Structure 1
Amino acid sequence: MKTVAVSIVTPDGPVCDSEVSMVVAKTTSGEIGVLAGHIPMVAPLAIGAVKLKQANGSTELVAVSGGFIEIRPDKISILAPSAEIAENIDVKRAKEAVKRAEGRIQNKQDDIDFKRAELSLKRALNRINVHEGNI
């Protein structure tokens, strides 16, 4: 099976550079699966997991908090505000973020804090789910 180069980059630097047989990502309009030779396109990403399927059948998961995916026939680039490989996720920190966000959501002091807390909750739950493989 053909492979395609994948690069996941955040403002803090590269998170992942590898050759994979398929990339599955959650865009704002739905999930997309990309193989080598795919037509060029750019799509905004939703908070979710990126699945990097290796030629040997294994899958690596990366939690992303939005961003963009740029697809070219020979390379896929993912630019995200933050991204973490599943085994590098600090679950304790993510669970603490869930508690903080849930507390802010219950308070509902103003609309802006509610939206920020809701996004924070989504990001933290995504990190936990990716670490546990529940996607």
Structure 2
Amino acid sequence: MKTLIVNIVTPDGPVYDSEVDMIIAKTASGEIGILPGHIPMVAPLVIGAVKLKKDGKSEYVAVNGGFVEVRPEKVTILAQSAEVASNIDVTRAKEAVKRAEERLQHKQDSTDFNRAELALKRAMNRINVYEGNI
């Protein structure tokens, strides 16, 4: 069976580099599935999980925005931040949820509200990926 080479990179360095059978990612226009031989494309990503299927098993990576570049045999994800499920500090993520919820309850201006809302989405994404609630 043909495979895709997948690289997930953040400003802090590489997060994931392997061959997979299929990728499912959340883009600004909806969820996409990518198989070997996919037409070339570039799409913006939203906060969400990237599902990587390999040998009948699935791995998840929490991605917080960025871009996916698809070529027939290679996919590169340039993300603002990303974490493989096994590397997520769930305690830290739950603390981030609490902080964001407190900020949302005590909103002072629209900028603080927007930042708190994004922080909440990122933290919930990390928790969901860690717990497998995708």
Q: Shorter-chain TM-score: what band?
A: over 0.9
Superposed displacement of residue 66, structure 1: 0.5
Q: Which runs of 5 or more residues in structure 2 are unaligned? A: none
Q: Which runs of 5 or more residues in structure 1 are unaligned? A: none
Please provide the CA RMSD for this pair: 0.4
State how far apart, in whole Å, the 1-side matches of 2:31 and 2:92 are.
27
Structure 1 equivalent of residue 73 of structure 2:
74
Structure 1 equivalent of residue 104 of structure 2:
105
State how far apart, in whole Å, the 1-side matches of 2:19 and 2:97 are.
33
Structure 2 equivalent of residue 89 of structure 1:
88
Structure 2 equivalent of residue 8 of structure 1:
8
Structure 1 equivalent of residue 116 of structure 2:
117
The alignment of Structure 1 onto Structure 2 pairs a total of residues equal to 134
Superposed displacement of residue 74, structure 1: 1.1
TM normalised by structure 1 equals: 0.98
Superposed displacement of residue 29, structure 1: 0.8
Superposed displacement of residue 23, structure 1: 0.4
Amino acid at match of 1:38: H
State how far apart, in whole Å, the 1-side matches of 2:20 and 2:113 are.
39
Superposed displacement of residue 108, structure 1: 1.1
Structure 2 equivalent of residue 37 of structure 1:
37
TM normalised by structure 2 equals: 0.99
Report the secondary structure of 2:65's partner residue.
strand
Matching of residue 62 in structure 1 with residue 67 in structure 2: no
Superposed displacement of residue 73, structure 1: 0.4
State how far apart, in whole Å, the 2-side matches of 1:57 and 1:107 are.
46
State how far apart, in whole Å, the 1-side matches of 2:6 and 2:79 are.
13
Which 4+ stretches in 1 moved above 2 angstroms?
Answer: none
Instruction: Trace 1:7-26 onto structure 2 (pairs within 5 A).
Output: 7-26=7-26
Instruction: Tell me the percent identity.
Output: 74
Superposed displacement of residue 98, structure 1: 0.2
Structure 1 equivalent of residue 27 of structure 2:
27
